[in-house]
Amino acid sequence: MRTLIFVVLLGTGLHGAAAVAHSLKYFYTGSSGVPNFPEFVAVGMVDDVQIDHYDSNTRRAEPKQDWMSRVTEDRADYWERNTNRYRSHQQSFKVSIEDLKPRFNQTGGVHIFQLMYGCEWDDETREVNGFHEYGYDGEDFISFDLKTETWIAPKQQAVISKHEWEENKGLIANRRNYLAQICPEWLKKYVDYGRRSLLRTELPSVSLLQKTPSSPVSCHASGFYPDRATLIWRKDGEELHEDVELGEILPNHDGTFQTSADLKPSASEDWGKYECVFQLSGVKDDIVTRLDKAKIRSNEKNSLVIPIVIVAVVVLALVVVAALGFVVYRKKNAKQPPSPVTNPEVMEQLNPKA
């Protein structure tokens, strides 16, 4: 079971160019007691790219990608319908938090109620996987198993909901239909709308970095798209696992990604046997960077420059302070609907047919 996370503001994440697996996910987050944050936030994601946004402050569903303007070709009232759907869940999530507090013997404090649902579709195998999962205060609460058409309750407090929802055969049929049919259909449409953006590839620039001569050598790749990529170190053509620390794939401000892999070479005379290899999904050729001392960028080269800059800044600051002091001296002198937890009928609203 997946662990739900507190979705605040989602940046642009991206999934693969020539990747055959696509996903459509919706994240709803209701909060209580969180200052300076909307009590309800909803976002839609296609291949981990945010496509829309709604929160209790704006109270409107809004597109987050230019190509999402095409949705009105299939449904003219798309944005109005989604706005109304999000507003409905805003109210039900607020009631749900109040319903869950006594189950967990809680009163006040900060509490988070979440829902993640959607589907994954493989355009090569045609396999579809659906998911519908609730979380409370950062932990799994209850989820729907599409294969067995049952609800799984990892928390004792969720057992009552499990029994109620499994007795509602209409609810089960609704979830099965959405996850297995409607969701994949819309996912295919979204991928088609954003094909030019979602299915593109961009290769990174690769650099070798080292803080000091005794520090590990870092192979840093930045500017690649999509995020389905790997960065490894090899020696004599064999992939290394020891003395290698792999970094996470992180987003850049422009929608591309970056990652790094640190290597502790065994001996300086063997450096010519090492190479950093970047592989991007859908791209045939790898980017291979051989370990070469001459190509390593080190902080030591700039070690003498930093003190000089600091001194210059301090001197400039003193001059400015003195000048301002002189000027001052001269001037001185002259701002409800039923809960989805207790009422399973609300779950039927979780069907974004728009």
Largest CA distance in the chain: 87
pLDDT tens digits along 173-194: 999 999 999 999 999 999 999 9
Token digits of residue 310: 């600091």
pLDDT tens digits along 66-110: 999 999 988 999 999 999 999 999 999 999 999 999 999 998 899
Q: Is the CATH number 2.60.40.10 carried by domain 205-302?
A: yes
Neighbours of 179 (CB within 10 A): 21
Question: For residue 106, what is the DSSP state?
Answer: -
Taking residues 273-298, report their average pLDDT.
91
Between 252 and 336, where is the model more confident? 252
Question: For residue 301, what is the DSSP state?
Answer: G
Instruction: Give yes or no on whether 21-198 and 205-302 have one common fold.
Output: no
Taking residues 190-199, report their average pLDDT.
91
Neighbours of 348 (CB within 10 A): 15
Predicted confidence at residue 102, as pLDDT, reads 95
Between 26 and 200, where is the model more confident? 26
Token digits of residue 244: 């290698």
Token digits of residue 135: 């979380």
Closest CA to 339 of 56, 53, 115, 108: 115
Spell out the domain ranges in the chain. Answer: 21-198, 205-302
211-225 burial code (b ≥16 CB/10 A, e <16): eeeeebbbbbbeebb
Distance of alpha carbon 216 from the chain centroid? 29
Interior angle at CA 173, CA 169 and CA 176, nearest 5: 140
Predicted confidence at residue 333, as pLDDT, reads 42
The answer to whether residue 322 scores a pLDDT higher than 80 is no
Confidence of residue 302 (pLDDT cuts 50, 70, 90): very low
> Phi and psi of 261, rounded to 5°?
-140, 120
Closest CA to 21 of 282, 206, 243, 211: 282
The region of weakest confidence among 3-7, 39-43, 266-270 is 3-7
| Strand partners of residue 144 | 132, 151
Q: Domain 21-198: give its CATH superfamily.
A: MHC class I-like antigen recognition-like (3.30.500.10)
Quote the CA–CA distance of 48 and 10 in Å, as a whole number.
Answer: 9
The answer to whether residue 11 scores a pLDDT higher than 50 is no
Predicted confidence at residue 311, as pLDDT, reads 43
